[in-house]
């Protein structure tokens, strides 16, 4: 390698007026927001929600979560991400500082299968004050047991930790939700990936 990588540094506590301005009510435009798929996107419309917990089990109120996923047909979008797009965008970004319970949420469609021997999943990045390096993880879906059992990445995770990656389907008055928490440490510590 001719050049060394630029080190990662923490996103810090004060990212909102730069990265998530609309969500937090700052006067700046957004390049992404919690809507991953607008109302016109093809597929099963779902909401993904969860809470980030620190080692003491306290909810983290200044994390930023980003997700990147395939559309309902299992295709990663090559169309530029645009927050005015009412169709499928592919990218979502949400801070945990505006919900009363410090949850993150994404309005999206359930992704399709991208490749053979894979289950549907969402790519996730976790940023927060107190993380010098962001962490990659994935959200899988609990109603895809058959495909989950064939997914090479999921099956490479020790069985007793696999559940940390699987979101639980819940029917709510406002629609279908998949719930999944992110635990930074402890018995339920989320599996993070070196991608």
Cβ proximity to another protein: between 69 and 177 the closer is: 69
CB of 182 to another protein, least distance (A): 10
Cβ proximity to another protein: between 41 and 128 the closer is: 128
Strand partners, 168: 179
- Cα separation of 138 and 123, whole Å? 5
Q: Is 145 helix (H, G, I), strand (E, B) or coil?
A: helix
What are the two backbone dihedrals, phi and then psi, of residue 135, each rounded to the nearest 5 degrees?
Answer: -120, 135
Cα dist. 7→1, 4, 13, 125, 134 in Å? 15, 9, 19, 17, 11
CB of 147 to another protein, least distance (A): 15
Cβ proximity to another protein: between 66 and 177 the closer is: 66
CB of 191 to another protein, least distance (A): 6
CB of 115 to another protein, least distance (A): 6
CB of 175 to another protein, least distance (A): 25
Least Cα distance to 115 among 65, 70, 57 occurs for 70
What are the two backbone dihedrals, phi and then psi, of residue 147, each rounded to the nearest 5 degrees?
Answer: -70, -35
Tell me which DSSP letter residue 102 carries. Answer: -
Cα dist. 42→54, 86, 87, 89, 180 in Å? 36, 11, 8, 11, 23
Cβ proximity to another protein: between 80 and 173 the closer is: 80
Contact yes or no for 178/143 (Cβ under 8 A):
no
CB of 41 to another protein, least distance (A): 15
Cβ proximity to another protein: between 2 and 159 the closer is: 2
Cβ proximity to another protein: between 64 and 167 the closer is: 64
């Amino acid at each position: 390698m001719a050049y060394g990588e630029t080190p990662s540094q923490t996103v810090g506590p004060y990212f909102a007026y730069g990265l998530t301005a609309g969500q937090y009510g700052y006067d700046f435009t957004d390049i992404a927001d919690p809507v991953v798929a607008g109302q016109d996107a093809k597929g099963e419309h779902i909401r993904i929600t969860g809470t980030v917990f620190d080692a003491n089990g306290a909810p983290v109120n200044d994390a930023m979560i980003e997700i990147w996923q395939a559309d309902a047909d299992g295709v990663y979008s090559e169309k530029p991400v645009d927050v005015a797009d009412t169709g499928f965008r592919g990218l979502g970004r949400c801070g945990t500082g505006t919900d009363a319970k410090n949850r993150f949420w994404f309005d999206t469609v359930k992704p399709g299968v991208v490749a053979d021997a894979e289950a549907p999943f969402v790519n996730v990045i976790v940023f927060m004050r107190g993380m010098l390096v962001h962490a990659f993880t994935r959200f899988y879906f609990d109603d895809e047991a058959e495909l989950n059992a064939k997914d090479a990445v999921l099956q490479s995770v020790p069985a007793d930790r696999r559940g940390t990656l699987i979101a639980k389907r819940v029917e709510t008055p406002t629609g279908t939700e998949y719930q999944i928490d992110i635990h930074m440490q402890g018995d339920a510590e989320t599996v993070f990936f070196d991608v």
